[in-house]
Amino acid sequence: MNTPLQGTLTPVSRLRTALEDTALALATADLDRLLAADTALQAALYELPQMKAVEPDQQLLFRRELEGAAAALLRCRRLGTGLSDFVRISLDAQGSQLGYEPARTAAAALSGRGFTAKV
């Protein structure tokens, strides 16, 4: 993982760093880190300038940072796909499936606890 750059390139550098943190969280199944990375990612995207706002002498470095962010995003996609496949296969092995289930029978079967609701 690289350290963020300073100056006018800080927002794009923060974007790359947030995506790298997201990939690390996905690779290690660290939910707290994933949530923290999501907050940092949203902030970085909000602050991201348009290319025309970047000084001409900084555009090459800006583009390289964006390429680094794109590579980190690709890693996130691959890790996310792998994690989704793992969860799906695990649920298939238990006879369950992904999705919304208002009756919550799968959760009750997995946890051994039932749910009560007052109507």
Q: What ranges do the domains of the chain cover?
A: 7-111
Q: Are 16 and 72 in contact (CB under 8 A)?
A: yes
Determine the average pLDDT of the residues in 75-93. Answer: 87
Query: pTM value?
Result: 0.68
pLDDT tens digits along 44-63: 989 887 777 778 888 888 88
Percent of the chain at pLDDT > 90 equals 34
- Is the pLDDT at 84 greater than 60? The verdict is yes
- What is the DSSP track for 11-59? HHHHHHHHHHHHHHHHHHT-HHHHHHHHHHHHHHHHHPPPGGGS-GGGH
* % the chain with pLDDT above 70: 74
- CA–CA–CA angle 103, 107, 110 (5° rounding): 140
